[in-house]
Amino acid sequence: MLKTLAACVREYKGKSIASAVLVALEVVMECLIPFVAALLIKNIGEGCELSVVIRYGLLLILLAIISLSFGALAGSACATAACGFAKNLRHDLFARVQEFSFENIDKFSSASLVTRLTTDVANVQMAYMMLIRVAIRSPLMLVFALVMAFVMGGTMAVIFLAVVPVLAVGLILVIRKTMPLFRCVFRRYDKLNESIEENIIGARVVKSFVREDYENAKFDREAKSVCADFTRAEKILAFNGPLMQMCLYAVMVFTLYFGARAIIAEPMSGFDVGKLSALLTYGFQILMSLMMVSMIFVMMTLSAESASRIAEVLREETTVLSPENAVMRVENGDVVFENVTFRYSKTAERAALSEINLSIRSGETVGILGGTGSSKSTLIQLISRLYDVSEGRVLVGGVDVRDYDLTVLRDSVAVVLQKNVLFSGTIRENLLWGDPNASEEEMKEACRMACADEFVEAFPEKYDTYIEQGGANVSGGQKQRLCIARALLKKPKVLILDDSTSAVDTKTDAHIRAAFQSFIPETTKIIIAQRVASVMEADKIILMDGGRITAIGDHASLLRESDVYREIYESQCRTGEEEEVDA
């Protein structure tokens, strides 16, 4: 895990090392100050001249300025390194997610990935900042101050060693109790973010069903769970402070009592007020260092789970990769399924697709019909290799899709998925996702084919009209047509529409299909639809049920030979006729 995260330091390695070196120098200066101060007090006690006091005073000021400078430089280097490390961490996490196949994404929920990119990275950033500064400063200060305490106080400094086991035992008990709670907290964070995400995405549904109170109650339950776990953890961590204070005051009392006694009762021992002052300062530095070490362990305990969750994403290998010596050209739009079986996971008991054999010639228009859960969408996702088959193979252009370079394959297969997504930005920016180098005329031509030009031209800013996040300021039908236009700009060998005209009227649907026949005759067109009217003119229609192909044929042959198709057709035609009569 540490090796995985350390790879994200990269160009900030120098700043990290500089921070550690500067902190070490700052500690040396701070440990010298009490020593010099003790010499000054001793000289004053012996009745030195003013010049000696001034000399020691200037030396103390110089040491303080140097220490302050090292501290400021260390803080600057530490902040730069920690923020840069977090930036690289977010970049690498996001880039890794972009490489994931659908199978990888299914493994992590979107809410969990958001938590890892935000809360978890923030925790690790804070831990790294403490690691390269406080975690260097505290042990060094502990060692140097302890050495100087023995130099100044002799055997009296043993008291500082006596409190270390007490603090260590207390710290170990705190960590053992809090670690499981922090693990639980981050799982609850995922659920909390999931609740927020669902509520924002489904805001219109929530309001239309007047379920705000229900959503508030659901969110409150998750928020209270997070609060309860954090409260339990913080209550345990709260014992750390009093324990440190107890040790601090015990050491101070011991030092003052025995130090004062040595000065008064044993004046010939050489222990004077200056050494007592220095010993108290070193004692304070030792105990503050121990307190900071305990804080480091607490922060590391908190961030360890975050670091593990981040490393889990970074180490995740995508299940879909381009092969070595990959095929770099798709010759045509031929699509063939040979004995294809597909399961969403290796442990799945039931196959989503079973024994699929299908052949589609380049340029054909193919319709796919089937009930909910018949795996229509699963079937077409195998063509662009969003998933890999469990058994059999899928060929595009006569080549197994697993032999293609992924970019080449997906550039040749345009998919308009069931859930249409527009990104925040202008209409032009969204369309150019299909082809960043598309000309203005090509963009308008794609919109004409998708019947999107009529409403785009009606906007005051036309193609520069801003689309809100998720396409919130356009209708469902407009969103679908823009997504189709975006796919057409790719000039694909295979165009797949996964129920992508469900929100447009039948007349517009017919215009879009007619445009496909006229403008992209050589492109293979696969249309998943709920309406028979959307596919009845297709070269072949595939009927699916339960992950299997139950019938293949054109409209006329299926009407003769398939009872299921005939029932669907007659049901929809009857409904259409009734709607016309009502109108």
Nearest to 136 by CA among 209, 81, 55: 81
* pLDDT digits 0-9 by tens, 172-198: 777 777 777 776 776 777 777 777 777
Q: What is the CA radius of gyration of the chain?
A: 36
Angle at 481 between CA 439 and CA 374, to 5 degrees: 130
Nearest to 159 by CA among 257, 53, 274: 257
Q: What is the DSSP letter of 327?
A: B
Nearest to 145 by CA among 203, 137, 364, 181: 137
Is beta strand 365-370 parallel, antiparallel or unpaired with respect to 540-545? parallel
Which has the higher per-residue pLDDT, 99 or 152?
99
Q: What is the mean pLDDT of residues 231-236?
A: 78
Q: How confident is residue 336, by pLDDT bands cut at 50, 70 and 90?
A: very high
Residue 581 has pLDDT above 50, yes or no: no
CA atoms of 181 and 179, how far apart (whole Å):
5
Encoding tokens for residue 12? 């900030």
CA atoms of 86 and 67, how far apart (whole Å):
28
| Structure confidence at residue 579 (pLDDT) | 45
Mean pLDDT of the chain: 82
Residue 479 has pLDDT above 60, yes or no: yes
CA atoms of 511 and 571, how far apart (whole Å):
24
| Structure confidence at residue 266 (pLDDT) | 65
Q: What residues does 126 pair with on adjacent strands?
A: none
For 522-555, what is the HEC assignment?
CCEEEEECCCHHHCCCCCEEEEEECCEEEEEECH
The answer to whether 357 and 389 are in contact (CB under 8 A) is: no
